[in-house]
């Protein structure tokens, strides 16, 4: 078949972007013709696939996306596309990979009635309706059990259109025989002493991932503990506002922002805690990556994959509704708890005994089904 994979933006190290490319690659390896349609592309282009970058210039994002969606129909016909897989919500999809949270749920919980009437939100809500509404025929690939309940609550989506995917963690994140070597090398490179604790915040979109919350909690540590700890954030985003916040709170010398990078397994082994207090997070792939690497985790309950932290007993979950004071205290506990060694062993054991790796193959099976 000729397949169209559609997303608004592609950039290296984005979780959605990585999943899209992995699923597209699997479909291509099974002998299908893959076309990718996007508004922007950063980084190398994949071999064996055609990448179509549409230039659309508008003042607002929602207007840009609307024009992009309108142009797709003619392009699909031109290239003989037989099946369309979307990674952002839009009309006309055969399959939708549900990485984004439910907008209607977010707006009803956080915004007033008038805000929901703005053109921006009317557009995005109409796109969500086009995917999840009962009149839609789009097959939906879910990546979090939490989504299943929320979308059925707001859209009464038919059960037959909802397909739960297993996680798709890269096995390179698992703790291997070289774990001690990776840990020693990373800590040597970043000059982290043996008696210092390295706290990691990993993920593009620093605001969404709660990096401000992480810095506030780090600054609130008791002085003796804070002086023996480092906080490093890794992701494709502008880190300057967060560096400025750290300086204002007096912890700038113990905080560092790194661009997205390919050697995440080194950090998972070199770190002592994954701190991921996201504002919202449909899944949170890095949470599972930390678990199977044996890195204890501290996450917010809003994260779809917080469920795995509790099931594996591999760290701590801050309950909703969120409280900064609770996070602050939880960070102290996570860094000092005698259960840290238990969390590490539990996570490694969980990664070896559960299917956390077959998402790509499962998604391709559904997309390519007759």
pLDDT in tens, 38-50: 999 999 999 999 9
Whether 2-166+358-367 shares its CATH topology with 171-353 is answered yes
| pLDDT digit string, tens, across residues 306-326 | 999 999 999 999 999 999 999
CATH number of 171-353: 3.40.50.2000
* Cα–Cα–Cα angle for 120, 123, 129, rounded to 5 degrees: 140
pLDDT of residue 144: 87
Q: Domain 2-166+358-367: which topology?
A: Rossmann fold (3.40.50)
| Radius of gyration of the chain measured on its C-alpha atoms | 21
Domain limits, the chain: 2-166+358-367, 171-353
Q: State percent of the chain over pLDDT 70.
A: 100
Lowest mean pLDDT among 30-34, 146-150, 187-191: 146-150
Residue 109 has pLDDT above 90, yes or no: no
pLDDT of residue 112: 80
- Tell me the pLDDT of the chain averaged across its residues: 96
pTM of the model: 0.87
How many other CB atoms are found less than 10 A from the CB of residue 309? 29
């Amino acid at each position: 078949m000729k397949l169209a994979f559609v997303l608004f933006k592609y950039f290296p190290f984005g979780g959605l972007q990585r999943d899209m490319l992995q699923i597209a690659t699997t479909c291509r390896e099974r002998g299908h013709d893959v076309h990718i349609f996007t508004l922007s592309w950063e980084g190398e282009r994949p071999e064996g696939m055609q990448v179509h970058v549409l230039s659309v210039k508008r003042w607002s994002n929602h207007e840009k996306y609307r024009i992009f969606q309108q142009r797709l129909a003619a392009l699909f016909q031109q290239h003989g596309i037989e099946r369309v897989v979307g990674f952002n919500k839009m009309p006309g999809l055969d399959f939708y990979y549900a990485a984004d949270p439910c907008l209607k749920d977010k707006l009803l919980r956080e915004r007033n009635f008038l805000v929901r009437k703005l053109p921006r939100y009317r557009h995005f809500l109409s796109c969500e309706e086009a995917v999840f509404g009962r009149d839609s025929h789009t097959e939906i690939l879910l990546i979090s059990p939490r989504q299943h309940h929320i979308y059925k609550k707001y859209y009464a989506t038919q059960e037959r259109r909802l397909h739960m995917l297993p996680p798709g963690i890269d096995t390179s994140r698992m703790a291997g025989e070289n774990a001690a070597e990776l840990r020693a090398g990373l800590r040597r490179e970043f000059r982290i002493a043996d008696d210092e604790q390295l706290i990691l915040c990993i993920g593009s979109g620093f605001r969404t991932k709660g990096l401000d919350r992480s810095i506030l909690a780090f600054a609130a540590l008791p002085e003796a503990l804070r002086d023996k700890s480092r906080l490093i954030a890794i992701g494709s985003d502008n880190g300057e506002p967060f560096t400025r916040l750290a300086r204002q709170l007096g912890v700038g010398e113990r905080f560092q922002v790194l661009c997205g990078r390919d050697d995440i397994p080194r950090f998972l082994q070199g770190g002592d805690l994954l701190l991921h207090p996201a504002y919202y997070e449909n899944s949170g792939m890095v949470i599972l990556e930390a678990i199977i690497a044996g890195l204890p985790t501290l996450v917010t309950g809003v994260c779809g994959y917080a469920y795995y932290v509790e099931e594996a007993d591999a760290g701590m979950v801050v309950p909703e509704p969120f409280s900064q004071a609770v996070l602050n205290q939880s960070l102290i506990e996570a860094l000092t708890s005698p259960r840290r060694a238990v969390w590490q062993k539990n996570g490694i054991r969980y990664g070896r005994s559960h299917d956390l790796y077959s998402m790509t193959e499962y998604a391709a099976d559904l997309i390519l089904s007759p």
